[in-house]
A and B are shown apart, each in its own frame.
Chain A
Amino acid sequence: MVAAEKLSRTEAHVRDLATDWPVALYETLKSSGVGHMSYVPDAGHATLIKLFGGDPDVVANMLTTEEEGVAIAAGAWLGGKRSVLLMQSSGVGNCINMLSLPVQARFPLLMLVTMRGEWAEFNPWQVPMGQATQASLEAIGITVLRAETGADLVETVEQAATMAYEADQQVAVLIGQRLLGKKKW
């Protein structure tokens, strides 16, 4: 809490975390030593994907399906790199068996999951997996944290990075759909 207040106070004049949280997340992950990332695109992750993709110090992998990123992150850690995995909640269902790798081997894992199917959702097909996301992750042994505001998200990711990379934990941070806003068509 103290860190978040400090962060929002010092950055208030340059940045509104309600809208500029993706840039703050990028800076937080960079200062946590993240030099490797994988993603399946999501509108909510668009800015972060762009920032990482344009960073010559970060290896960025485009995936065909989300579970690939779980295995890639394990390999990156074996070789000494900190990796972050970005996906939408629908992709969590694809990951379940592959998550046995970081859970069993205690590989650090930091997943940032943008939520669908829970707030102003127009597509009913997003609802079942959205409803099952947290329960599925917890069932396979992942620690799940949630954030509903930009300031809370940045603080949550900062401490989740410590839990993952310093304490060999497997952590998913769910980014509430309310924060992401209504999808525009």
Chain B
Amino acid sequence: MDRRAAVQTLLDARDGALVVTGLGSPSYDVHAAGDRHDNYYLWGAMGGAALVGLGLAQAQPDKRVMVITGDGEQLMAFGALATISVARPNNLDIIVLDNQHYGETGMQTSHTGRGIALDKVAAATGFSDTAELRTQEEVDALAERLRQPAEGPRLFVLKIKAENLPRSLPPRDAAYVKNRFRAHLDLVTC
């Protein structure tokens, strides 16, 4: 599966969803689909993406939040799946772009390349909907599925090609990205 095409498909159907991205390629993929004020890109804080998404989903219960991150980033937040499941937001969707490798650091194999299935882990913790997707056609269907109301948090693993595409770099000024995000929600900035 082509990661940029898959992410583009999900973002074309975002329908007002707020987006948080995990560091590295997922941030580049979301930026490549078009920079927007309702995207919050992480450039660090590995293991934090889904949890930033949880806090945001709890603060904005009437909006859908979509976290787009990588397998390595989510593996670092294994316990976060338990925390999110117990918190049980019904407006938080986690998309794991899974190339089974640490693409930023030399393409070393990750745990998902050695048998760990994050969708099954999420299902075991109690996520309301989970799946592993392998084709663009399945992603097209997922975009529709995400529009349906959820009973709890959802997590989908997209098995993508392991490749380093040309980088599409979001702003690295985290305070600037924070302030324009809050301004998008009509919140005051410091």
Identify the A interface with B (CB < 8 A).
36, 59, 61-65, 67-68, 70-81, 83, 97-98, 100-101, 104-107, 166-168
Contact = CB atoms under 8 A, between A and B. Distances in A.
Contacts of B55: 36, 71-79, 81, 83
Interface of B: 18, 20, 40, 42, 44-49, 51-60, 77, 79-80, 82-83, 86-87, 174-175, 177-178, 181-182, 185, 187, 190
B185 to A, nearest CB: 6
B30 to A, nearest CB: 15
Contact of B54 (A75, A167, A168): A75
A75 B52 contact: yes
Nearest to A72: B55
10 contacts: A63-B83, A64-B79, A64-B80, A72-B52, A73-B55, A74-B55, A75-B58, A78-B182, A79-B58, A101-B44
Contacts of B87: 61
A165 B83 CA distance: 25
Contacts of A166: 190
SS of A interface (majority): helix
Contacts of A168: 190
Contact of B48 (A77, A81, A101): A101
Given A61-B87, A97-B46, A81 B58 contact: yes
**Pairs A-B, 7 closest by C-beta atoms:** A75-B55, A79-B59, A64-B79, A105-B174, A71-B48, A71-B51, A76-B55
Contacts of B178: 77-78, 105-107
A79 B79 CA distance: 23
Given A75-B52, A80-B187, 12 more contacts: A62-B86, A67-B47, A71-B48, A72-B51, A75-B56, A77-B55, A79-B18, A79-B56, A81-B55, A81-B59, A97-B46, A105-B174
Contacts of B44: 97, 100-101, 104
Contacts of B53: 75
A106 B58 contact: no
B79 A80 contact: no
A64 B58 contact: no
A167 B175 contact: no
A64 B174 contact: no
B58 A36 contact: yes
B45 A97 contact: yes
Nearest to A62: B86
A68 B59 contact: no
A167 B54 CA distance: 24
Contact of B177 (A61, A76, A105): A105
Contacts of B181: 78
B59 A75 contact: yes
A75 B49 CA distance: 9
Given A68-B79, A105-B175, A74 B190 contact: no
Contacts of B51: 68, 71-72, 75
B182 A80 contact: yes
Contacts of B46: 97
Contacts of A83: 55
A99 to B, nearest CB: 9
B58 A59 contact: yes
